[in-house]
Amino acid sequence: MTDNDAVLSVRDLSVYYGEFRAIKNISLSFQANRVTALIGPSGCGKSTLLRCLNRMNDLVPQARVEGEVVYSQQDIYDPQIDPAQVRLHIGMVFQKPNPFPKSIFDNVAFGLKINGLTNNIDEAVEKSLRSAALWDEVKDRLNENAMTLSGGQQQRLCIARTLAVEPEIILMDEPASALDPIGTLAIESLMRDLTEKYTIVVVTHNMQQAARVSDETAFLMMDEDRAGYLVESGKTDNIFQNPKDERTEAYITGRFG
């Protein structure tokens, strides 16, 4: 991965929770309009790394970040940067669908309203729901409570909610792990479609999912001091067919982890 096409770059990143170092010295670039999968055994720091990419770790008490996360030529950890602004550009979708107990419409409109983007709100909601491949299923029931949707629909609603504020990058933390195979397929096809306009970084435990949806893959592991580090990254085809590092090979073939 060259830094040239990178829309987001992590440079020598370490994250501490109090005394404990959760990840250490990770440098990695994310290319525009690509899906990058972060894989690795539990506890290797994938989700920590993902949450650093839009300052979600700010919400964790005692979390401390060293190194840089560069977006638009700026370190997002620069003290002058407003984390809320960062999250407008770099959105996140979580493992469990977490719609608000509000109407379908209000869920999607939420980000727009709190950011004062209330022009053409109907249009923006429809566009987001279409982009999230949910519009046809919900267009006649926009005022129903979002909790009436199936798990897969709820997750696509959360994606629509993220898309509504038109971010450039979408972070996804195990977005399909709580879904059945049909819901999973819908999310995976959606991820492929979204790369036309967005850059996606996805954490997944599902090796086949990483192989199916991503263009680039980064493999992380936990060191003896329990800090996560980057073992290898590169094109997904290379990582899954012919990894360079024995540790990657052992992990993806199920010999450990």
Partner 1 sequence: MARSPRAEFDAELTGLQNEVLVLGSMVEKAIAKSIEALRTRNLDDSREVVAEDDLIDDKRHEIEDKCIALIARQQPMATDLRQIVAFLHIAVDLERMGDYAEGIGKIGLLMGEQPPLKPLIDIPRMCEMANDMLRRSLDGLVKRDVVIANQVLKDDDEVDALYDQVYRELVLLMVQDPKTIERATFLLWAAHDLERVADRAENIAEQVIYLVSGREPR
Q: Can you give the binding site for partner 1, defined by CB under 8 A?
A: 207-208, 211, 238, 240-243, 248-249, 252-255
- Smallest gap from Cβ 240 to partner 1, in A, equals 5
The CB-of-254 to partner 1 minimum distance in angstroms stands at 5
CB atoms near residue 229 (< 10 Å): 17
Output 29 or 204, the one with its CB closest to partner 1.
204
Per DSSP, the residues of 206-217 read: -HHHHHHH-SEE
CB of 255 to partner 1, least distance (A): 6
Helices (H), the chain: 46-52, 83-89, 104-114, 121-131, 135-138, 151-164, 181-194, 207-213, 236-241, 246-252
* Least distance in angstroms from the C-beta of 39 to partner 1: 11
CB of 208 to partner 1, least distance (A): 5
CB 91 within 8 A of CB 169: yes
Strand, helix or coil for residue 249:
helix
Instruction: Compare residues 67 and 243 and give the one whose CB is closer to partner 1.
Output: 243
Q: How far is Cα 256 from Cα 248, in angstroms, rounded to an integer?
A: 10
Cβ closest to partner 1, residue 143 vs residue 241 = 241
Nearer to partner 1, 85 or 241 (CB): 241
Nearer to partner 1, 64 or 255 (CB): 255
Structure tokens at 168: 């450039």
Q: Smallest distance, Å, CB 36 to partner 1? A: 18
Name the β-bridge partners of 220: 230
Residue with tokens 């770059």: 9
CA distance 20 to 15: 9
Q: Which C-beta is closer to partner 1: that of 12 or that of 245?
A: 245
Residue closer to partner 1, measured from CB, 27 or 238: 238
Cβ of residue 134: shortest distance to partner 1, in angstroms?
Answer: 29
Neighbours of 16 (CB within 10 A): 17
Q: What separation in angstroms does the CA of 36 have from each of 55, 101, 195, 202?
A: 18, 31, 11, 6
Beta pairing, strands 199-203 & 216-222: unpaired
